Structure 1
Amino acid sequence: MALTNDEINEILELYGRGYSGRKIADKTEHSPITIYYHIRQAKKSVTGLIDKSMNVDKILSQLDYPNLFVNRVVRESSTSHEENEKDELEAEETTEEIESPKKLDLKAELSEFQKNQEIGQRKE
């Protein structure tokens, strides 16, 4: 059975208030699969408009989703975007901090090894 727009908006409103998918399912008596499906579809719609640089007011007028839901998705989207940028910056800093390995002077190491062996043989 397909959900009505009012039922979908109720699901999105509850999600916007911070309810988990299971709590929404208990409250609305719809299956968790149905709940997650509609939340995921609505999130895709909102994030698609965010990617087009639309502000919250334009998204609200275009999609007719509950304000709390749109604000939560926008907040989550900006948080994940900021975290990705932060991770990229940290990765760049870490790369800069790592020193290049010292070049091995094989000839010097070989001659030192040979000297140590000679000293060891003399002691015997």
Structure 2
Amino acid sequence: MAAPRVATTLVTGASPGAREQAIAQLLHQNGAFSAVILEGLPDGRPLLEPSPSLLIERISPGCLCCTGNLVLRVTLNRLLRRAPERLYIGVADAGHLSQLRSWLAAAPYDQLLELAPIVHT
């Protein structure tokens, strides 16, 4: 039997703080073992802190479907090996959001991720 796909939400917004705040609210609502990939550095003090039930990775800002593709792929693969129930990806630039979503919906991620609607902050 195949493992259940990880519920995955892309979160975009004007600032790292807005994206983190939106993800923090979603985490509070769901309460599941979750992983978060955040693009860029926090605005001041980070809102999200790693814990036994929350994995957090930060990656350099840049287009995640173009120049940041390899970094995102490595980070995503590493987190998926930990089998989170939910995954949130904070995206700084919404310009290529449809391409990023298409990339995540293609093999091999189509068998691993269940894409939820995009959250705009």
TM-score after normalising by structure 1: 0.27
Higher relative contact order (CA 8 A, sep 6+): 2
Select the structure of larger CA radius of gyration: 1
Higher strand share: 2
